[in-house]
Amino acid sequence: MQLRLLIAGLLCAALTVGVGAMPRPAGLGTVAGQVLGSNGKAVAGARVTLQAAEGRRIQTMDTNNQGRFWFASLPEGQYGVRASYEGRVSEWRQNVWVAPAEQTNVILHLRPKK
């Protein structure tokens, strides 16, 4: 009986070590933020573009009534984010890092019209 318990214990320990050593898949994260005008007020309806680090456009969306945007379920890595509205654009926020199970917050400022 003790031999069976010893063997069962050793098998459980081996499985635990084996599972812990397995590579874990990269998790998903979020980029969220707000678009502000040159007056510092939120801009509703601004178009926000999210790009992967290599320049491939991934998603676009419009801000809500509070000027907020939210890109969810993004693989871990670096991204760029930019906003535009009625001919005005924000700076490109490059090297925005997305980490698993984390939200990265970004504030984008639209440049004034010339």
Domains and CATH numbers, the chain: 28-109 (2.60.40.10)
pLDDT tens by residue, 8-53: 554 444 444 443 444 444 589 999 999 999 999 999 999 999 999 8
Per-residue HEC secondary structure of the chain comes to CHHHHHHHHHHHHHHHHHHHHCCCCCCEEEEEEEEECCCCCECCCCEEEEEECCCCEEEEEECCCCCEEEEEEEECEEEEEEEEECCEEECCEEEEEECCCCEEEEEEEECCCC
Strands 93-98 and 77-85 turn out to be antiparallel
Q: pLDDT for 59-108, tens place per residue? A: 999 999 999 999 999 999 999 999 999 999 999 999 999 999 999 999 99
